[in-house]
Amino acid sequence: MKDLPYAEPYKTKMVEYMRPSTIEERKQWIKEADYNLFNLSSDKVFIDLLTDSGTGAMSDKQWAEMMVGDESYAGSQSYLKLRDTVRRITGFQYFLPTHQGRAAENVLFSVLVNDGDIVPGNSHFDTTKGHIEFRKASVVDCTIDEAFNTTVFHPFKGNVNIEKLENSLKLNAGKVPFVIVTITCNSAGGQPVSMENIRAVSEVCKRRHIPLLIDAARFAENAYFIKMREEGYRNKSIKEIVKEFFSYTDGMTMSAKKDGLVNMGGFIALNNEEVYKKASVFSIMFEGFKTYGGLNGRDMGALAVGLDEATEFDYLHSRIGQVAYLGELLVKYGVPVQQPFGGHAIFLDANKFVLTIPRDEYRAQALAIELYIVGGIRSVEIGTILADRDPFTHKNRYPELELVRLAIPRRTYSLNHMRYVASVIRKIYDSRSQAKRGYRIIDEAPIMRHFTVKLEKIKT
């Protein structure tokens, strides 16, 4: 078997029809959606790479668990299954379910974050940054510099720069409620964090008596990269690697819609009983009783199974291999992408792809719109629109990278779909010199504007 090509460790049991459409139809639909891909209804999308969050396919064992879900309001058996699974996989003793990852952040940050606080981390995810800034606190990005050069090959571009972190903690002494490390680092291109780096961050935090939290949405994918790229871990199982890196930390939030392999769900896991008790109060206020946290019993049961499936090597090898397959095709065509490839998505480098469009005309968004018009493919901008305005100056924040993320849903699309996506991008790339103008914002929310922003096309 080792000499044969690798095949997906699953087979298809059900299919879902996807409606093809014409370029003319898509031009009209995206205009009616105010050039915001989030505003498109799903029947107007051919291949949906907007997000890998809650968009994957569940296994037969997960569906079977749905049928025996215990819907008791308090103390359901499904909750106990999930609690015990989380304890076994992560090692954390205290557990609160929530309906998704941003809900976990809302509950936990209600306890930990106060006006004027500073939270260092590695390229905070948009909702993480949003929940911190909503509480009149600030984030400090301590990601290594290599993350912002898409052509540099570094095996762990999600790493925290320890010197940047130390300087931030010294400068903001007494104002740092915790440090947060996102694994894998979505905003830097789905890039992993090494075990060595997690350990080093932990040592810095312990010296200063500051808690270390993990945004663990894609923790299993991060463990796969540690196994494949970091010395000393090739013979470790994914579950062993997971248990080790969580042991260096004080708690985690998770959007289980990623590496939990479910369509809805999230949770908080901690070792600090006092923080758990305080968070339980906010959980009851915002999410529901602490043994269901906004989830059905059947959802908790499916998540318990999903966490076990996601931390198996064969699944991860297939999943990350599919992402790499798309990336390799694009590199072959000369398309600029973040390298090495991340765990859940391929990120197009819009700064190199469409230099002809000014940054203040949102070149990454313009590229994402063109991808939809030409091929019916929905992606998402990870650039200036997502970066929001500075909460104090109200000016656009221009991140070092302007990216378009092609997030691959888990166990959903075939390699033929990846070939189609690559061919559409190649077509756009070959005609990129024709792109002259982008878009202007005509309406935006004061925070996390990318979800609801309205734009109009700038005419040449």
pLDDT for 189 equals 86
Same domain, 131 and 241: yes
Same domain, 321 and 400: yes
pLDDT digit of tens for each residue in the chain (460 aa)? Answer: 455 556 888 899 999 999 899 999 999 999 999 999 999 999 999 999 999 999 999 999 999 999 999 999 999 999 999 999 999 999 999 999 999 999 999 999 999 999 999 999 999 988 999 999 999 999 999 999 999 998 999 999 999 999 999 999 999 999 999 999 999 998 888 999 999 999 999 999 999 999 999 999 999 999 999 999 999 999 999 999 999 999 999 999 999 999 999 999 999 999 999 999 999 999 999 999 999 999 999 999 999 999 999 999 999 999 999 999 999 999 999 999 999 999 999 999 999 999 999 999 999 999 999 999 999 999 999 999 988 888 888 899 998 889 999 999 999 999 999 999 999 999 999 999 898 899 999 999 988 899 999 999 998 7
Same domain, 144 and 258: yes
CA angle 345, 350, 356 (to 5 degrees): 160
Same domain, 300 and 360: no
Cα first-last separation, the chain: 57
Same domain, 377 and 279: no
Distance CA 424, CA 431 (A): 11
User: Between the CA of residue 33 and those of 36, 388, 406, what are the distances in Å?
Assistant: 6, 20, 20
| Domain presence at residue 152 | yes
Q: How many domains does the chain have?
A: 2
Using N-to-C axis directions, what is the helix angle for 126-134 and 101-112, rounded to 10°? 30
CB 301 within 8 A of CB 69: yes
State the catalytic residues: 73, 125-126, 215, 217, 258, 450
**What H or E segment, with its residue span, contains residue 345?**
strand 345-349
Q: Any idea which residue has 């569906």 for tokens?
A: 63
Return the SS3 of 399.
coil
| Domain presence at residue 215 | yes
| Domain presence at residue 58 | no
Same domain, 194 and 334: no
Distance CA 137, CA 117 (A): 5
Domain that holds residue 168: 68-310
Same domain, 46 and 79: no
Same domain, 304 and 320: no
- 212 - beta bridge partners? 179
CA neighbours within 13 Å on the CB side: how many for 403? 25
Last residue of a domain, one of 259, 279, 310: 310
* CATH number of the domain within which 394 lies: 3.90.1150.10
CB 265 within 8 A of CB 295: yes
Same domain, 111 and 196: yes
Q: Phi and psi dihedrals of 77, rounded to 5?
A: -65, -30
Same domain, 335 and 294: no
Same domain, 323 and 268: no
